[in-house]
């Protein structure tokens, strides 16, 4: 029964009441502990003791010597934090069957990967904290590791987490069309197995966090290198039992992230918990060595794939079986299911084939957790698809370009729904491929390649077509219960001097967010860009938004900025019209002025601002200036705004040493409306370099005991400038009709397509020897092994 209106519980009104000032003595995080000493404490630094084993039981922990060490404030163990937080579990309801155990800031009784944090030393400096960590005496009982994915899923395998029953974290099956019938009737069937090595982000700036709990007002302020400040605010409030109003998160300019800095890490949560425990500011900055064993990893997959074709080259069916390892936990809050889920969803998606079967199995392991990393799943799906296309072309005696022409989704066939259920609004595969061939002079390169082969110089040409998932809507995470916003906001204010301050929910990690937003706002308001001030990354200054991930900054954040700027423009013209006794529709903004239809200057924006803020007495009666506007935007019509493109790699292979020299790389990308060509092209180039890293260099190498063997930059190879080719970028623009701006994303396309193009080029160079390489990274020893010289 509906309660009568008078009985409805409603907030009390404070108007007209004498409300006392909040007491300076506050409850510490609402847990009944009063803090009396309100002197401002000095910043303390945290260093972590990490487990040296892949799997071990904690037998004893003696912190006495560390506690007595110079400069030590406190040594914190799991017992000290018990009851002060809620553990987190990395599952989402729309991933049916996904499971993971609760995770904690510090190890309680069992560690499940080399690098898991066990204890924290808080000291006056990082150096003193590290010295004290070395004094902690700890006894471990080493347990059997679980490093191999297939072994983890084998019948009878001992579960890493007994309460879960087995080591299957997640599984998904797709079976569309008549796959068995298509294979039975096929004129040609090609099949191959592929492996992709686990690697990590190696950001220019390692992860960092500074948490400051002020007992005087009960507020927690966290400065952290995150991509999503509002998400982290919600997580800190939720798991440390704080009201949202008591938490502020600030993410300044972040030195690279690539998805590495959008997850919840135990050491970050421990740092916040320690700040709350001690009531003082506490800072943690990961060093490069611990980053290798504490940052998330990605890309560890083994895939068996088959493709069926008719004799005219039509792809009749595609089937893959993907096994991937995700470490001991599914990461929170985005989970570790997404990469594998996107591999099976994206494979073959840009071709017309309607018969598709995929099976995904996600295994627990005793290695660091894996999850979303730049171009989540795309490099794997593209590499598998495009490698099979090249194999099929060779089997049918067709040029690999011609086979793609015959199977790509036609540019006039949209909207299109793929066999896996993805919805494409409008793409340009055929146009992108043709533009790529012209850009690289494909026929000329083939003639050059043939001539050089006669001189025993082995060059390869690799082509890769692809799609990129951008601008994710609420069906991506929010529907599963994650505190991850699909919308973004932008608040704009005309200041008295005629400048505009713009606060946006998208964040800056070096990709040019601030420049992009300033361009959009300046263009809408007719201002020079130096008149626009962009503020990002502060939950108390920026409107609520999802942050920057999945190439959403321009497509979602940029649209919010455009809508906000247009709303502010309308407000300015309304006010200027009243001041000038002119119709707002007859006015416009240009060069910092209100102008008439003929372009004549009528009044400066600085004068409009000063009148609104300081000289309201000069305004006509009834005019209330409103020179602040906020708008939000969230895509609704399509779950994602897909982009597409094509890449090509040209390289030379030394068959005596196995070394590969990259000669040139080409990209044609369709990311919708291009707001800033230079920023887009540099995003694509950076992505290509990162993709080349995965294709040729990067690999986290583990032994059978789960020990990382190359956890330094002396041993872990990353692509260097001297090894990179010239990267030529060209554009096609197919704007999305869902937004006024028409922009999609571009941040991950380079990474998604480059490994496939490079692998195909390597195998093209190896074609005269009738051998192939199907494992990434394609190291010299793998090339020599394929040639029988290893």
Q: What is the pLDDT of residues 270-280, one digit of tens each?
A: 999 999 999 99
Indicate the pTM of the whole model: 0.94
CATH of the domain at 284: 3.90.1170.50
27 contacts: CB under 8 Å, gap ≥ 6: 33, 34, 218
Query: Is the same domain home to 557 and 445?
Result: no
Give tens-digit pLDDT for 137-156: 999 999 999 999 999 999 99
Query: Is the same domain home to 674 and 777?
Result: yes
CA distance 381 to 317: 15
Q: What pLDDT, on a 0 to 100 scale, did the predictor assign at position 141? A: 98
Do the strands 282-285 and 44-50 form a parallel or antiparallel pair, or are they unpaired? Answer: parallel
Q: Domain count for the chain, please give it.
A: 3
Give Cα separations from 447 to 630, 648, 725 (angstroms): 58, 16, 21
Which of 629, 751, 124 lies closest to 378 in space, CA to CA?
Answer: 751
Does the pLDDT of residue 18 top 90, yes or no? no
Q: What pLDDT, on a 0 to 100 scale, did the predictor assign at position 7? A: 38
Query: Is the same domain home to 766 and 661?
Result: yes
Query: Is the same domain home to 458 and 360?
Result: yes
CA distance 441 to 504: 43
Which of 749, 667, 668 lies closest to 469 in space, CA to CA?
Answer: 749
Q: Which domain holds residue 745?
A: 297-396+429-462+644-786
Q: Which of 633, 654, 670 is the last residue of a domain?
A: 633
CATH of the domain at 741: 3.30.365.10
CA distance 631 to 505: 11
CA distance 725 to 188: 36
Work out the average pLDDT over 307-328: 98
Confidence band of 38 (pLDDT split at 50, 70, 90)? very low
Does the pLDDT of residue 483 top 80, yes or no? yes
Does the pLDDT of residue 25 top 50, yes or no? no
Assess if residue 172 is contained within a domain: no
Assess if residue 81 is contained within a domain: yes
Q: 408 with 638: CB under 8 angstroms? A: no
Q: What pLDDT, on a 0 to 100 scale, did the predictor assign at position 790? A: 73
Both tokens assigned to 79:
């017992």
CA 520 from chain centre, in angstroms, equals: 23
Confidence band of 32 (pLDDT split at 50, 70, 90)? very low
Do the strands 500-504 and 488-494 form a parallel or antiparallel pair, or are they unpaired? Answer: antiparallel
Does the pLDDT of residue 402 top 70, yes or no? yes
Give Cα separations from 675 to 523, 532, 666 (angstroms): 11, 16, 21
Does the pLDDT of residue 8 top 70, yes or no? no
CA distance 189 to 615: 79
Q: What pLDDT, on a 0 to 100 scale, did the predictor assign at position 49? A: 98
CA distance 546 to 228: 6
Give Cα separations from 739 to 415, 555, 557 (angstroms): 16, 8, 11
Which of 749, 747, 746, 776 lies closest to 763 in space, CA to CA?
Answer: 776
Helix crossing, 378-396 with 400-407: angle to 10°?
Answer: 110
Residue 200, classed as helix, strand or coil, is strand
Residue 350, classed as helix, strand or coil, is coil
Which of 630, 669, 632, 636 lies closest to 738 in space, CA to CA?
Answer: 636
Does the pLDDT of residue 323 top 70, yes or no? yes
Query: Is the same domain home to 573 and 585?
Result: yes
Longest dimension (CA), the chain: 94
Burial class (CB in 10 A: 0-12, 13-18, 19+), 375: buried
Give Cα separations from 440 to 67, 179, 387, 667 (angstroms): 64, 36, 20, 9
Query: Is the same domain home to 328 and 281?
Result: no
Does the pLDDT of residue 357 top 60, yes or no? yes
Q: What is the DSSP letter of 616?
A: G
Q: Which of 586, 611, 633 is the last residue of a domain?
A: 633
CA distance 278 to 414: 59
Query: Is the same domain home to 512 and 384?
Result: no
Q: 41 with 126: CB under 8 angstroms? A: no
CA distance 487 to 472: 9
CA angle 693, 672, 744 (to 5 degrees): 65
Sign of CA dihedral 221, 224, 230, 231: negative
Q: What pLDDT, on a 0 to 100 scale, did the predictor assign at position 33? A: 41
Q: 304 with 136: CB under 8 angstroms? A: no
Query: Is the same domain home to 337 and 450?
Result: yes
Work out the average pLDDT over 345-354: 98
Three state DSSP letters for 113-145 = CCCCEEEEEEECCHHHHHHHHCCCEEEEEECCC
Confidence band of 3 (pLDDT split at 50, 70, 90)? very low
Q: What pLDDT, on a 0 to 100 scale, did the predictor assign at position 41? A: 72
Query: Is the same domain home to 351 and 216?
Result: no
Query: Is the same domain home to 305 and 435?
Result: yes
CA distance 344 to 171: 11
Q: What pLDDT, on a 0 to 100 scale, did the predictor assign at position 475? A: 83
Assess if residue 539 is contained within a domain: yes
336 contacts: CB under 8 Å, gap ≥ 6: 90, 100, 169, 170, 326, 327, 329, 330, 362, 369, 370, 371
Query: Is the same domain home to 571 and 692?
Result: no
Q: What is the percent of the chain with per-residue pLDDT over 70, rounded to a whole number?
A: 95
Q: What pLDDT, on a 0 to 100 scale, did the predictor assign at position 14? A: 57
Query: Is the same domain home to 290 and 307?
Result: no
Q: Which of 601, 633, 665 is the last residue of a domain?
A: 633
Which of 300, 343, 201, 301 lies closest to 259 in space, CA to CA?
Answer: 201
CA distance 135 to 439: 61
Assess if residue 83 is contained within a domain: yes
| Higher per-residue confidence, 288 vs 790 | 288
Report the chain's mean pLDDT, rounded to a whole number. 94
Q: What is the percent of the chain with per-residue pLDDT over 90, rounded to a whole number?
A: 94
Does the pLDDT of residue 17 top 80, yes or no? no
711 contacts: CB under 8 Å, gap ≥ 6: 289, 292, 293, 700
Give Cα separations from 58 to 104, 140, 269, 297 (angstroms): 15, 5, 21, 25
Asked if the bond preceding 333 is cis, omega within 30° of 0, the reply is yes
Burial class (CB in 10 A: 0-12, 13-18, 19+), 156: exposed
Confidence band of 13 (pLDDT split at 50, 70, 90)? low
Does the pLDDT of residue 34 top 70, yes or no? no
CA 630 from chain centre, in angstroms, equals: 26
CA distance 431 to 433: 6
**By 3-state DSSP, what share of the chain in percent is helix, strand and coil, each rounded to 5?**
30, 25, 45
Assess if residue 581 is contained within a domain: yes
| Higher per-residue confidence, 19 vs 620 | 620
Rg (CA), the chain: 29
CA distance 211 to 220: 7
710 φ, ψ to 5°? -135, 55
Give tens-digit pLDDT for 436-481: 999 999 999 999 999 999 999 999 999 999 999 999 998 889 999 9
Which of 736, 725, 727 lies closest to 670 in space, CA to CA?
Answer: 736
Assess if residue 192 is contained within a domain: no
171 contacts: CB under 8 Å, gap ≥ 6: 97, 359, 360, 361, 362
Q: 262 with 509: CB under 8 angstroms? A: no
Assess if residue 336 is contained within a domain: yes
Q: What pLDDT, on a 0 to 100 scale, did the predictor assign at position 2? A: 39
CA distance 325 to 341: 13
Work out the average pLDDT over 174-178: 98
CA distance 688 to 665: 9
Q: 745 with 552: CB under 8 angstroms? A: yes
């Amino acid at each position: 029964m509906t309660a009568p209106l008078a009985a409805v519980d409603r907030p009390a009104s404070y108007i007209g009441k004498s409300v006392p000032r909040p007491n300076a003595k506050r409850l510490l995080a609402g847990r009944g502990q009063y803090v009396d000493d309100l002197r401002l404490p000095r910043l303390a630094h945290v260093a972590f003791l990490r487990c040296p084993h892949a799997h071990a039981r904690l037998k004893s922990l003696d912190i006495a010597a560390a506690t007595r060490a110079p400069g030590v404030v406190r040594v914190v163990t799991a017992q000290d934090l018990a009851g002060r937080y809620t553990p987190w579990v990395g599952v989402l309801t729309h991933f049916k069957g996904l499971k993971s155990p609760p995770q904690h800031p510090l190890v309680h009784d069992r560690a499940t990967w080399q690098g898991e944090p066990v204890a924290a030393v808080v000291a006056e400096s990082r150096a003193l904290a590290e010295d004290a960590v070395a004094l902690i005496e700890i006894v471990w009982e080493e347990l059997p590791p679980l490093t191999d994915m297939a072994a983890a899923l084998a019948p009878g395998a001992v579960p890493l987490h007994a309460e879960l029953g087995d080591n299957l974290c997640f599984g998904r099956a797709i079976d569309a069309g008549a796959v068995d019938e298509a294979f039975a009737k096929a004129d040609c069937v090609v099949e191959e197995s592929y492996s992709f090595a686990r690697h990590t982000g190696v950001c220019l700036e390692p992860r960092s966090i500074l948490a400051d709990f002020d007992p005087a007002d009960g507020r927690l302020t966290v400065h952290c290198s995150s991509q999503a400040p509002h998400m982290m605010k919600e997580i800190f409030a939720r798991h440390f039992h704080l009201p949202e109003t008591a938490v502020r998160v600030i993410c300044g300019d972040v030195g690279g992230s690539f998805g590495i800095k959008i997850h919840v890490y135990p050491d970050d949560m421990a740092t916040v918990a320690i700040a709350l425990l001690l009531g003082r500011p506490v800072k943690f900055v990961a060093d490069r060595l611990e980053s290798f064993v504490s940052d998330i990893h990605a890309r560890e997959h083994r895939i068996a794939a088959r493709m069926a074709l008719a004799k005219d080259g039509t792809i009749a069916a595609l089937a893959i079986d993907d096994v991937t390892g995700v470490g001991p936990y599914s990461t929170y809050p985005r989970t570790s299911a997404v990469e594998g889920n996107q591999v099976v969803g994206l494979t073959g998606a840009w071709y017309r084939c309607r018969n598709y079967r995929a099976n995904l199995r996600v295994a627990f392991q005793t290695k660091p957790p894996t999850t979303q990393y730049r171009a989540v799943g795309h490099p794997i799906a593209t590499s598998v698809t495009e490698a099979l296309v090249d194999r099929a072309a060779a089997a049918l005696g067709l040029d690999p370009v011609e086979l793609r022409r015959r199977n790509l989704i036609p540019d006039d066939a949209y909207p299109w729904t793929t066999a896996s259920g993805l919805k494409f609004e409008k793409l340009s595969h055929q146009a992108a491929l043709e533009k790529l061939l012209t850009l690289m002079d494909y026929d000329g390169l083939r003639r050059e390649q043939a001539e050089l082969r006669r001189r025993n110089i082995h060059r390869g040409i690799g082509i890769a077509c692809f799609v990129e998932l951008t601008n994710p809507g609420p069906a991506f995470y929010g529907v599963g219960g994650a505190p991850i916003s699909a919308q973004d906001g932008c608040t704009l204010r005309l200041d008295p001097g005629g400048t505009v301050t713009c606060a946006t929910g998208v964040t800056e990690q070096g990709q040019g967010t601030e420049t992009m937003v300033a361009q959009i706002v300046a263009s809408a308001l007719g201002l020079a860009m130096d008149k626009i001030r962009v503020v990002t990354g502060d939950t108390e200054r920026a409107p609520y938004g999802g942050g920057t991930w999945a190439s959403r900054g321009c497509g979602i954040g940029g649209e919010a900025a455009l809508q906000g700027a247009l709303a502010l423009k309308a407000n300015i013209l309304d006010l200027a019209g009243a001041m000038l006794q002119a119709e707002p529709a007859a006015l416009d903004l240009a060069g910092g002025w209100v102008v008439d239809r003929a372009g004549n200057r009528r009044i400066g924006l600085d004068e409009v601002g000063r009148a609104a803020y300081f000289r309201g007495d000069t305004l006509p009666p009834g005019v209330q200036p409103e020179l602040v506007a906020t708008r939000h935007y969230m895509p609704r019509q399509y779950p994602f705004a897909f982009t597409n493109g094509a890449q090509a790699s040209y390289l030379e292979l030394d068959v005596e040493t196995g070394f590969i020299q990259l000669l040139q790389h080409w990209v044609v990308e369709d990311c919708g409306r291009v707001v800033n060509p230079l920023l887009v092209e540099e995003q694509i180039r950076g992505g290509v370099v990162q993709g080349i890293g995965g294709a040729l260099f990067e690999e986290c190498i583990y032994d059978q005991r789960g020990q990382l063997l190359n956890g330094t930059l002396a041993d872990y190879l990353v692509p260097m400038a001297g090894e990179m080719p010239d990267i030529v970028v060209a554009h096609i623009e197919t704007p999305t009709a869902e937004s006024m701006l028409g922009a999609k994303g571009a941040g991950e396309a380079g990474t998604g397509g480059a490994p496939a193009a490079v692998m195909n080029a390597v195998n093209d160079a190896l074609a005269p020897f009738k051998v192939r390489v199907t494992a990434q990274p394609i190291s010299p020893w793998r090339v020599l092994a394929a040639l029988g010289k290893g």
